[in-house]
Amino acid sequence: MWNYKQRKCIFTLLGHLDYIRTVFFHHEYPWIISSSDDQTVRIWNWQSRQCIAILTGHNHYVMCAQFHPKEDLIVSCSLDQTVRVWDISGLRKKAAMPGPSSYDENPNKQVDLFGNTDAIVKYVLEGHDRGVNWCTFHPSLPLIVSAGDDRQVKLWRMNESKAWEVDTCRGHFNNVSCAIFHPRQELILSNSEDKSIRVWDMSKRTGVQTYRREHDRYWVINAHPDQNLFAAGNESSILVH
């Protein structure tokens, strides 16, 4: 955890046993979610500086894990070719409990976590033919997008009882590193080791724009929350479009 104004590290969270792939803040609670090659997803309380949950179930590197923007859900994806949706409402209820029963007050509670009562697998989404590198929720609709080494970008829909594959965006010709929803338009943005960024029409699942660089594989992409800008990271630079 860094103070970016002072440009210094405030503290370090230790616990993962292998490379950490992604980290994200929760939109409301003092939580951080991390995904790792140790095949786990971990949730940390940055106020108490404790690990408050360990999500086990993936059987290969976990490449990405993110909180839902509004609900008590997590989406994760792995090189085990699956996308998983987790219900963490039990964790939220436990965190809200007053007194020493909360994790904030008693970090020794961690021994309970391996029962996974606080984070329950809700759905396992199978459809990718190879490892899955990225997954994220739609900002407002019950949709998930995922990107994989099968060169595909997949769109999934979910309701209270089930989740299913809607369609696949095909066009990348190498591993797809990252895919996100545009924050305000019906578009999906993806980038790939094929040295391209692609923009897809979400309703038609067709490509509408491609940005290509000759020498740089792309690894990650993000959209500005308010302005019509997106940033993509490749092997030599960050590009802003």
What is the arithmetic mean of pLDDT over 211-223? 93
3-state secondary structure the chain: CEECCCCEECCCCCCCCCCEEEEEECCCCCEEEEEECCCEEEEEECCCCEEEEEEECCCCCEEEEEECCCCCEEEEEECCCEEEEEECHHHHHHHHCCHHHCCCCCHHHHHHHHHCCCCEEEEEEECCCCCEEEEEECCCCCEEEEEECCCEEEEEEECCCCEEEEEEEECCCCCEEEEEECCCCCEEEEEECCCEEEEEECCCCEEEEEEECCCCCEEEEEECCCCCCEEEEECCCEEEC
What is the arithmetic mean of pLDDT over 71-99? 91
**In contact, 190 and 169? CB cutoff 8 Å:** yes
Q: Is the pLDDT of residue 166 over 90?
A: yes
What is the arithmetic mean of pLDDT over 201-217? 92
Q: Is the pLDDT of residue 8 over 70?
A: yes
Largest CA distance in the chain: 58
- Break the chain into its structural domains and give their ranges: 17-126, 134-241
**In contact, 221 and 231? CB cutoff 8 Å:** yes
Average pLDDT in the chain: 92
Angstrom distance (rounded) from CA 77 to CA 135: 6
**Span 97-143, pLDDT tens digits:** 765 444 444 444 444 445 546 899 999 999 999 999 999 999 999 99
Q: What dotted CATH number matches 134-241?
A: 2.130.10.10
pTM: 0.91
**Span 16-51, pLDDT tens digits:** 999 999 999 999 999 999 999 999 999 999 999 999
Angstrom distance (rounded) from CA 84 to CA 58: 8
Domain 17-126 falls in which CATH fold? Methylamine Dehydrogenase; Chain H (2.130.10)
Q: Is the pLDDT of residue 81 over 50?
A: yes
Q: What are phi and psi of 160, to 5 degrees?
A: -65, -25
**In contact, 170 and 151? CB cutoff 8 Å:** yes
The pLDDT score that the predictor gives to residue 104 is: 46
Residue 22 region by backbone torsions, left for phi larger than 0, else alpha for psi between -120 and 50, else beta = beta
The pLDDT score that the predictor gives to residue 215 is: 87
Angstrom distance (rounded) from CA 23 to CA 34: 4
